[in-house]
Structure 1
Amino acid sequence: MKHIACLLALLLPFTTQLYAQKKADRKTLGNLQTHITFLASDKLEGRRTGTPGELLAAEYIASQMKLAGLTPAGDSGFLQVFPVSEGRIIASSSFLHVNKLTLRAGEQFIPLPFSAQKHVKGDVLADVNEPDNIWLFNVKDFEMSPHADPLEIYRQNAREAAKAGATGVIFYNGTETEEEVKKWMSLSVAPLTIPVMWVNSEMSKVLDDAEDLLIDMRVDFAADRRTGINVVGHIDNKAPHTIVIGAHFDHLGYGEDHNSMAPNDKTIHHGADDNASGTAALLELARQLKASHLQNYNYLFVAFSGEELGLFGSKYFTDHSAVPAASFNYMINMDMIGRLDPAKGLEVGGIGTSPEWPALLKQSVPADIRTTYDSSGTGPSDHTSFYLKNVPVLFFFTGTHSDYHKPSDEATKINYEGELAVMKVVYTLVEKTNDMGKLAFTKTRDKQTRTNTRFTVTLGIMPDYTWQKPGVRVDGVSDNKPASKAGVLTNDVIVELGTHTIVNLEDYMQALASFKKGDKTTVKVRREDAEKVFDIQF
């Protein structure tokens, strides 16, 4: 009995500790499910940036940060408001009447971004373009190169029509969809002197069949000022350096920003994995670290918005943080960590951004979690904004799946035990750095953004995803890549790549897809008020 009593005495602390850990895990699992279920609920309508659903999500996150004992570190309490765009929308005063038909703005007709804001009216004969009248252009008659920019073709034809005396222009039988044309509205283009409209395929048939047309058209634009909200909580341990833990909480709403993988499904995109999962882990890590003895660093917990639109929230935060960015030790980003699959495992990016990461990760990741690593500090998520400020980063991701950017990304499909396992890796990593001081930063190769376009070469630049004007602004240049060798600099705006006109990021990706390793071409950039052309070789 004495020996048994001694054995029990030895086992009791271990058993008590094991029970306490299981109890803590049960609480964390319950909290994760509560957070994700709320954030992915219909009530939040997909958490699209700039909507009431985003605000509801931000208020919930702020309330959880307050409950965990964090200090507000936004501009207004926990909240930090940032601009997303200063674009334009079709004003309600715009109209197009064709004979007795009144067309629907944004669907049957869309003003083009270079249109003048004017009202014109005229009796128009089909196929007859007269001075002092409205001109109709059948786009089927244009000889357009497959690489041509249709918006530029429209602008050139409308400009020539204005010079020839046209009072207005309507383009019909274009191959673009309404959604593609609406994207052009965000471009900043110098206006012409006449109103210019595009009509869809339905109205193109009307113009094809008509001989005499009474057209009454008016173009007016209204400002589209859109803002987003970051949520920022702070644990101030009076330490010299700060660890940033982040996750974006915005999603796609009803797919209004044309980033859905189910474009014909205008229902709520729930975004449980993308990225209610990372947001829930952020809140639980905040609660755990606030209660811990890991106090050799300060901690910032940031829930970003605007990520789905192009890293708007994280880019703004790195430029406007209440805690100086110079004090940031490293940043951990959790984006889509709710679908851990033993066959695919965990993906960790950014391990090349500090020489300390490989050894730390080897100590922190359990052997039973299959893990793949990527060295790059850049990519299609918010850690990129920190890497570009020379902050070491890590990116945790459990992989894409068939529900990605679809309404079917729901809370019932989350692997909560798997998410808890990822959280434990992050916590262990933070724990192991507690006595290490400031980590060294190293530059890495660049990594392109998510895109449907396939390409085999890179220019070696990091685009500014928040750029709203024509062209692609260079946010960073990778050493020893074609751009740096040619002389392209940060803040240059790429406007041409070879024969391709670059209006937006998608144009840039399409242009890259046309080249292969070894090809030689030119890149034209706008640098301040001048244009420069460089020879490059991929």
Structure 2
Amino acid sequence: MKKLILGITLLSLISCKKESTFQYTMQDDVTFLASDDLQGRKTGTEGELKAANYIKERFAALGLSPKGNEETFFQTFSFAPKNDPHGEVRFRESGNDSLITGTNVIGYIDNKTSHTIVIGAHYDHLGMGGEGSLHRDGEAIHNGADDNASGVAVLLQLAQKLQGPSYKGNNYLFIAFSGEEMGLLGSNYFTKNATIPLSEINYMINMDMVGRLNTEKALAIHGVGTSPSWNQTVFAANTSFELAEHESGVGPSDHTSFYLNDIPVLHLFTGQHDDYHKPGDDSEKLNYEGMQMIEDYILAIISELDNNGKIAFTKTKDESAVVPSFKVGLGVVPDYLFSGKGMRIDGVSDGKAAQNAGLEKGDVVIKMGDSTVVDMMSYMRVLSTFDAGDTTTIVIDRKGENLTKEIVFIKD
């Protein structure tokens, strides 16, 4: 009840006149977006639409211009639910009761320049669970504070700061994406129906799960290979983080949709945790000081490039093999902050192949069958070759000792 009352209070405050002196903190925004009242913000639900309206009102109060459809902040899209989880979603015209409608929320700062930076974060989540959830005990609200109310909260702070006099070298387009959890639907739709010409986009910065910065201040930054400008810039701007660099412009978040349209991207991520895709991902567990550090880091990156014009795009090496089709799963949560050789396990699911074989959190997978695993992409490629019922050996590095285990794959 406390969360509900606070959520209502925040929404009423946001509806006040734009000249209100109330200053929203990241914690204010996360507390509302991750409240029980929004029922997990699943795409197409009433809870997601409440979140969309909240973000719209925040954009308006910050003085952003609407850049959705028909001079509104909203860009809606409709699609039919997938029968095949590996199939492609097809967007449809609205008006059919069987369709799901998602809502991107888009605001704009027009500095009258020829280039625009896109700042993005998805706001949808898993609702009451179901597909994608790692919760095994029936329906429960998945509030998604880290995933991804955290990214939206940072985006809203950036929307305020980037109106300052130090950031006039680009225009800024802020997009809170819907449909990410269902397969990057909102960002995919936007790039196919962009409300500004894609040719004007300088680069895209994506924030997805930036709320759990650890004590080592480890921050994964993906997409550094998508422009020759990134490698120097991400280090020049960094004063706080232990960076785990990843070159690829493709990954399981919305930056991928922009990369596939030849736009340089960066994706910031503070890593997996035990509450990932579970009901325990709540607002009080976030590291708000860490989120502020990430906001400052993004501002520093933008400042480094502010007078450089449009930066060059480069393709990265592994985009052609990005999304292998999986018939089985190992039953682990990968450690996306790991920058060594192999795939380090950050969590093991109950009753799955990894637990049955005795794998543990912290193990580093270095070989599966006859194939060497050097990184996340090679791990996914090897995993895609197995069928349910197959048996193979897996070699892990456990605290410096190589161990060989037998894996029996079960249907994912």
Does TM, normalized by the shorter one, top 0.5? yes
Contact 1:86/1:223 (8 A) holds in 2: no
Distance in 1 between the 2:110 and 2:163 partners?
Answer: 10
Higher radius of gyration, 1 or 2:
1
Distance in 1 between the 2:217 and 2:323 partners?
Answer: 21
Aligned to 2:352: none
Distance in 2 between the 1:186 and 1:311 partners?
Answer: 13
- 1:241 equivalent in alignment to 2:236: no
Distance in 1 between the 2:28 and 2:281 partners?
Answer: 16
Aligned to 2:216: 343
Secondary structure at the aligned position of 1:512 is classed as coil
Aligned to 2:79: 84
Secondary structure at the aligned position of 1:290 is classed as coil
Aligned to 1:203: none
Contact 1:380/1:449 (8 A) holds in 2: no
Distance in 2 between the 1:47 and 1:363 partners?
Answer: 37
Q: CA shift at 1:84, angstroms?
A: 3.0
Secondary structure at the aligned position of 1:266 is classed as coil
Are residues 509 and 265 of structure 1, via their aligned partners in 2, closer, same or farther at CA, if it must alter by over 3 Å? farther
Aligned to 2:202: 329
Secondary structure at the aligned position of 1:353 is classed as coil
Determine which of 58, 61, 70 is the counterpart of 1:67. 61
Contact 1:277/1:336 (8 A) holds in 2: yes
Aligned to 1:474: none
Q: CA shift at 1:449, angstroms?
A: 5.4
Q: CA shift at 1:186, angstroms?
A: 10
Distance in 2 between the 1:385 and 1:363 partners?
Answer: 27
Distance in 1 between the 2:102 and 2:382 partners?
Answer: 26
Q: CA shift at 1:445, angstroms?
A: 2.2
Question: 1:78-157, aligned counterparts within 5 Å?
Answer: 78-85=73-80
Secondary structure at the aligned position of 1:83 is classed as strand
Are residues 185 and 224 of structure 1, via their aligned partners in 2, closer, same or farther at CA, if it must alter by over 3 Å? farther
Distance in 2 between the 1:390 and 1:308 partners?
Answer: 23
Q: CA shift at 1:319, angstroms?
A: 1.2
The one-letter amino acid paired with 1:48 is: K
Aligned residue pairs total: 307
Aligned to 1:35: 29
- 1:441 equivalent in alignment to 2:313: yes
Secondary structure at the aligned position of 1:384 is classed as helix
Q: CA shift at 1:414, angstroms?
A: 0.3
Q: CA shift at 1:381, angstroms?
A: 0.2
The one-letter amino acid paired with 1:332 is: I
- 1:251 equivalent in alignment to 2:125: yes
Secondary structure at the aligned position of 1:230 is classed as strand
Which string of whole-angstrom CA distances, capped at 9 and with x for unpartnered residues, describes residues 249-286 of structure 1?
Answer: 00000014x11010333110000000000000001100
Aligned to 1:453: 329
Secondary structure at the aligned position of 2:157 is classed as helix
Q: CA shift at 1:512, angstroms?
A: 2.9
Contact 1:250/1:308 (8 A) holds in 2: yes
Distance in 1 between the 2:232 and 2:75 partners?
Answer: 35
Distance in 2 between the 1:264 and 1:510 partners?
Answer: 27
Aligned to 2:44: 50
Q: CA shift at 1:509, angstroms?
A: 9.0
Aligned to 1:429: 301
- 1:314 equivalent in alignment to 2:190: no
The one-letter amino acid paired with 2:286 is: I
Aligned to 1:503: none
> After TM superposition, which residue ranges in structure 1, 4 or more long, deviate above 4 angstroms?
183-188, 449-452, 508-511
Secondary structure at the aligned position of 2:385 is classed as helix
Aligned to 1:378: 250
Q: CA shift at 1:248, angstroms?
A: 0.3
Contact 2:217/2:241 (8 A) holds in 1: no
Aligned to 2:269: 397
Q: CA shift at 1:342, angstroms?
A: 2.6
TM-score normalised to the size of structure 1? 0.54
Aligned to 1:305: 178
Contact 2:115/2:201 (8 A) holds in 1: yes
Q: CA shift at 1:435, angstroms?
A: 0.2
Q: CA shift at 1:453, angstroms?
A: 2.8
Point out where structure 1 has 5 or more consecutive residues left out of the alignment.
1-26, 88-182, 189-221, 456-507, 516-538
Contact 1:335/1:381 (8 A) holds in 2: yes
Of Structure 1 and Structure 2, the greater helix share is in: 1
Are residues 392 and 187 of structure 1, via their aligned partners in 2, closer, same or farther at CA, if it must alter by over 3 Å? closer
Q: CA shift at 1:371, angstroms?
A: 1.1
Question: 1:149-188, aligned counterparts within 5 Å?
Answer: 183=83
Q: CA shift at 1:510, angstroms?
A: 6.5
Q: CA shift at 1:85, angstroms?
A: 1.9
Point out where structure 2 has 5 or more consecutive residues left out of the alignment.
1-21, 89-95, 332-380, 391-412
Distance in 1 between the 2:323 and 2:137 partners?
Answer: 24
Distance in 2 between the 1:300 and 1:53 partners?
Answer: 24
Are residues 292 and 39 of structure 1, via their aligned partners in 2, closer, same or farther at CA, if it must alter by over 3 Å? farther
Q: CA shift at 1:185, angstroms?
A: 9.8
The one-letter amino acid paired with 1:40 is: A
Contact 2:208/2:268 (8 A) holds in 1: yes
